[in-house]
Structure 1
Amino acid sequence: MPRQIFINLPVSDVAKATAFYTAIGAGKNPQFSDETSSCMVFSDTIFVMLMTHAKWAHFTSKPIVDSRRESEVMLALSADDRESVDRMTDTAGANGGKADVNAKQDLGFMYGRSFEDPDGHIWEVMFVDMSQVPANPS
C-alpha cells in the first residue's frame, strides 16, 4: 500500500473552505465530515482535513497562526502538465483564493505556480517533465 498524506488545516469557515477545495478539484468524503470539519480528497493518497478553529484546538494547544501574515507551511501538489498547473491556480484565484502569491517557476523541465486558499494557506502546483530533467539540475 502506498503511503498516504493527511493534511490538517484550521479554517475560519468550513462551508466556504469546502466550496473552495471542491472548486479546485477535491471531492468531499462525507464519512469523515460534519459541521466542524470536511475531509477533502485529492487522490487515493492525498487528503486535506479542514477544521474549525474550535475543533483544531482539540488537537494542539499551540495558537493558530494568521496565515495571511505569517508563514506556516507551503504545500505542493503535482500536476499532469503545464495546463493543469495553470487551470488549478487560475481556478483558485476565481473561487475565493489568491493566485500567484509567489513568483511563477519555469525552469523548462519544471513549471509551477502558487495560490493561497481563503484562509491564507499557501499551495504550489508543480509539473515536472522527468524526461527533460538535467543530470545535475543545480
Structure 2
Amino acid sequence: MATSIFVNFSSSDLERSKAFYTALGCEINPLFTDDNAACIVWDENIYFMVLTKEYFSTFTDKTIIDASTSAQVSLALSRDSREDVDKILEAGLAAGGSEPRPVQDYGFMYSRDLDDPDGNSLGFLYMDPVAAEKGPEAYMAEQGAQA
C-alpha cells in the first residue's frame, strides 16, 4: 500500500484558495469539500486539505499562525524540468500568488518559491537526475571535469 500525504493549510478565503490551486492544475475532491474545507488533489498520493481558520483550530490546541507573516512549514514539490518550474510559478502568480524570494539556481538544482494568497509556502524544484542519483558534489565535479 502506498503512503498518501495530507497537508493541512488554513485559509481566510476558501473559495479563493480553491481557485488558486485549480489554477495550478489541481482538482477538488467534492466528497471531502464543504463550507469548512476543500480537498485539493495534487496527485494520487498527495492531497492538500485547505481549511477555514476556524475549522483548522478544531484539529489542534496550538495557535494557528498567520502564514503571511510567519512560517511553520515549507513544502517542496519536484517538477520534470526548469520550464515546468517556471510554468507552474506563472500560473500561481496569475492566480493571486506571490514569489517571496528570487530564483535559486545552483546548476544542478533550480527552484522557485510560491506563496498562495494566504501566505502558505510552496517550493517547486527541478534537480538534474544525475545530481539526484550521485549527489550534488559528484555532479559538480563531473561538470567541472567536462568544462
Place the TM-score, normalised by the shorter chain, in its bin. Answer: over 0.9
Q: Per-residue CA shift, 1:8-45, capped at 9, x if unaligned?
A: 00100111100000001110000111111100001011
1:119 corresponds in structure 2 to: 118
**Which 5+ residue runs of structure 2 have no aligned equivalent?**
138-147
1:137 CA drift (Å):
2.0
Q: Which moved more, 1:12-21 or 1:125-134?
A: 125-134
TM-score, with normalisation over the residues of structure 2? Answer: 0.87
User: What one-letter code is carried by the residue in structure 1 that aligns with 2:48?
Assistant: V
Based on CA coordinates, which of the two structures has the bigger radius of gyration? 2
Q: Deviation at 1:134?
A: 8.0
**Pair 1:81–1:136, CA change in 2 (3 A):** closer
Q: Which amino acid aligns with 1:123?
A: L
- Answer 1 or 2: which has greater strand percent: 1
Counterparts of 2:97 and 2:84, CA distance in 1? 17
| Cα displacement (A) at 1:132 | 4.5
Cα RMSD after superposing both structures = 1.5
Q: Cα offset for 1:84? A: 0.8
Aligned length: 137
Paired residue for 1:10? 10
User: 2 CA distance for matches of 1:38 and 1:2?
Assistant: 23
Q: Please identify runs of 4+ aligned residues in structure 1 that moved more than 6 A.
A: none
- By percentage of residues, which structure has more helix? 2
CA distance in structure 2 between the partners assigned to 1:126 and 1:5 by the alignment: 19
Query: How much has 1:103 moved relative to structure 2?
Result: 2.9
CA apart distance, 1:133: 4.8
1:26-73 CA-to-partner distances (Å, cap 9, x unmatched) read 100001111111000010111000000111111012121111111111
Show structure 1 runs of 5+ residues with no match: none
| Aligned amino acid, residue 72 of structure 2 | E
Are 2:6 and 2:49, in contact at CA under 8 Å, matched by a contact in 1? Answer: yes
